[in-house]
């Protein structure tokens, strides 16, 4: 079996207390590089301040109540800023935090159909408490250690494809056809037909050339260049937002400023949670299944993401372990608690952090920059939203390509390894879920290895986790069996 090389370390002595605390020189980085990486991570994550309110405020709960868009936006930025800084200070790792896309969609489209918004956020907090307990007792790390090396690498590669697919979709380069076959296609009617998508391609090429030529700040320069082009194009052609009925308009954000760029944040949703569940309207079984789904999604999405990012940053050893891993897993659980407490949904490590890592970020100092920008975003929403998702998408595709390179560390000559790796890598982007990809990999690894006479390779914990994923995948029929609405 081929293994990944151990993380490299610089022999340069730290120059000051800041350098010593974050191990900047030790990891072969510089303050300037960390600042650039932190900025790039923020730019690629900034869309969540707009997208999370769109998702959460667009659904009414069982009582017919909705969340205020601006209040969700402010809570999202505040939580992302606090959690990103906290994670950077405690773990010294360059992983940004924000509202998890898979979890917020589950809460908005499934959970609030059974409970109120305050009750839904209480369930998110309970999920976080369970995650913290698992991490603090070491069980989460034990499960992490039970995962075979090949699957850990496959998770990294799968996340890379997932990141790239998100970029293609956000840019309009890949769209839904509305047909059973093919389900997705190129652009509009099989061709690139909108200006925003053309600018995505231009930004992708510009950034790709800069990265290929090893230009320092290549990702950031590419993002800024693409944004400037977008602002110029919008000023000339006034494309507007596609949501306003403008065919060929911008996706989530229009690259133009109007009115004052400043505004006081609405923090009215902080603390708007309710643990007093009305069991006459929702069953205990339903509550348990909701928490089970939240925990599984949160647990394995974060584990997979952190593994992939640590590998990309060259901070993980041959077993996939990285510095202060237990602290990282605990703080990630805290993100769910704080996210629920602010009604912004579970805050978790973001795969877009790979953009900052690709720019050279290697320490938690980059998180101070990213987190600080999110805190500023509470007051500067117009400036935050000036970067179109089509432009940010180009960086995601570049990072996805970088992460794809990790596949070289897996020996795929044995089919009992190849199939679980293949399923892990492909199911993630095709189902738009990191947890689904990990689950497919775990279940197939256990079954294929066991029935091909290699059961000794399987850790007892992996059997338990695989069984849990079987329940996770079958939760719909299970809920129906118990009469859950």
Residues facing 347 on adjacent strands: 99
pLDDT tens by residue, 229-263: 999 999 999 999 998 888 899 987 889 867 677 77
- Smallest CA-to-CA distance from 439 within 350, 447, 328 is with 447
Read off the pLDDT of residues 345-389 as tens digits, 9 standing for 90 and up: 999 999 889 999 999 999 999 999 999 999 999 987 666 668 888
Is residue 274 within 8 Å of 117, Cβ to Cβ? no
Asked if 197 and 171 count as a contact pair (C-beta separation under 8 A), the reply is yes
Would you place residue 17 in the very low, low, confident or very high pLDDT band (cuts 50, 70, 90)? very high
Q: Per-residue pLDDT tens for 320-347?
A: 788 998 999 999 999 999 999 999 999 9
Q: Which residues pair with 175 in a beta bridge?
A: 185
Structure tokens at 188: 């509009």
Positive or negative, the CA dihedral 460, 312, 304, 370 is positive
Peptide bond into 37 cis (omega under 30): no
Give the pLDDT mean for 401-421: 93
Cα–Cα distance, 92 to 356 (Å, whole number): 14
CA 320 to the chain's CA centroid: 19
23 dihedral zone (left: phi>0; alpha: psi -120 to 50; beta):
left
Is pLDDT above 50 for 108? yes
Share of the chain above pLDDT 90, in %: 56
pLDDT by residue (tens digit) across 208-230?
A: 999 899 887 888 889 889 989 99
What's the Cα-to-Cα distance from 36 to each of 123, 355, 378, rounded to whole Å?
37, 10, 21
CA distances 385 to 29, 129, 254, 338, Å, are: 30, 33, 7, 24
Name the packing angle between helices 149-171 and 284-312 (round to 10°): 100
CA atoms within 13 A on the CB side of 345: 31
How many Å from the N-terminal Cα to the C-terminal Cα in the chain?
48
Q: How far apart are CA 481 and CA 244, in angstroms?
A: 43
Residue 469 to residue 475: CA distance in whole angstroms? 9
In the prediction, which pLDDT does 483 show?
65
The pLDDT of residue 160 is: 87
**DSSP characters for 139-199?**
HHHHHHHHS-HHHHHHHHHHHHHHHHHHHHHHHTSEEE-SSSSSSEEEBBTTB---HHHHH
For residue range 138-181, list pLDDT tens digits in order: 888 888 778 898 998 898 899 889 889 989 998 999 999 989 88
Describe the crossing of helices 325-341 and 69-91 by its angle, rounded to 10 degrees.
160
pTM of model > 0.75:
yes
The overall longest dimension of the chain from CA atoms, in Å, is 68
Mean pLDDT of the chain: 89
Q: Mark residue 28 as left, alpha or beta (left: phi above 0; alpha: psi -120 to 50; beta: remaining).
A: left
Q: Give the position of tokens 């309970």.
A: 126
pLDDT digits (tens, 9 = 90+) for 66-105: 999 889 999 999 999 999 999 999 999 999 999 987 788 8
Q: 2 pLDDT band (50/70/90 cuts)?
A: very low
As a whole number of angstroms, the distance between CA 354 and CA 395 comes to 9
Residue 13 clears pLDDT 90, i.e. is over it: no
3-state secondary structure of 13: coil
């Amino acid at each position: 079996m081929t293994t990944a090389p151990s993380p490299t370390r610089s022999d340069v002595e730290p120059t000051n207390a800041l350098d010593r605390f974050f191990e900047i020189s030790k990891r072969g980085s510089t303050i300037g590089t960390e600042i650039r990486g932190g900025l790039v991570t923020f730019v690629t994550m900034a869309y969540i301040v707009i997208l999370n309110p769109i998702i959460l405020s667009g659904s009414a709960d069982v009582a017919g109540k909705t969340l205020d868009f601006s209040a969700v936006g402010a809570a999202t930025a505040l939580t992302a800023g606090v959690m990103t800084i906290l994670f950077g200070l405690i773990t010294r790792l360059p992983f940004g935090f924000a509202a998890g896309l898979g979890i917020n969609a589950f809460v908005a489209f499934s959970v609030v159909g059974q409970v109120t918004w305050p009750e839904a956020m209480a369930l998110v907090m309970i999920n976080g408490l369970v995650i913290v307990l698992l991490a603090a007792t070491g069980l989460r790390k034990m499960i992490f250690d039970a995962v075979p090396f090949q699957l850990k690498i496959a998770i990294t590669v799968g996340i890379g494809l997932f990141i790239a697919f998100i970029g293609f979709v956000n840019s309009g380069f890949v769209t839904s056809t509305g047909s059973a076959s093919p389900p997705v296609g190129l652009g509009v009617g099989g061709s690139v037909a909108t200006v925003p998508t053309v600018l995505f391609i231009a930004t992708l090429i510009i950034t790709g050339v800069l990265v290929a030529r090893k230009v320092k700040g290549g990702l950031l320069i590419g993002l800024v260049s693409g944004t400037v082009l977008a602002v110029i194009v919008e000023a000339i052609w006034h494309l507007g937002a596609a949501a306003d009925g403008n065919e060929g308009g911008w996706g989530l954000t229009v690259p133009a400023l109007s009115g004052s760029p400043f505004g006081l944040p609405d923090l009215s949703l902080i603390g708007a949670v309710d643990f007093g569940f009305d069991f006459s309207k929702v069953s205990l079984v339903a509550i348990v299944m909701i928490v089970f789904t939240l925990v599984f999604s949160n647990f394995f999405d974060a584990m997979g993401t952190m593994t992939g990012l640590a590998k990309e940053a060259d901070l993980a050893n041959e077993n996939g372990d990285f510095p202060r891993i237990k602290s990282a897993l605990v703080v990630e659980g805290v993100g769910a608690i704080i996210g629920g407490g602010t009604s912004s949904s579970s805050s978790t490590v973001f795969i877009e952090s790979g953009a900052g890592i690709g720019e050279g970020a290697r320490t938690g100092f980059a998180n101070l920059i990213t987190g600080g920008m999110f805190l500023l975003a509470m007051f500067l929403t117009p400036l935050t939203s000036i970067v179109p998702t089509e432009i940010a998408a180009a960086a995601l595709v570049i990072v996805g390509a970088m992460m794809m390179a990790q596949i070289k560390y897996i020996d795929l000559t044995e089919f009992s390894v190849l199939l679980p790796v293949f399923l892990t890598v492909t199911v993630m982007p095709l189902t738009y879920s990191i947890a689904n990809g990990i689950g497919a990999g775990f279940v197939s690894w256990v079954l294929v290895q066991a029935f091909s006479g290699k059961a000794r390779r399987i850790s007892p914990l992996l059997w338990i986790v695989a069984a849990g994923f079987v329940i996770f995948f079958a939760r719909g029929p299970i809920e129906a069996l118990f009469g859950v609405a």
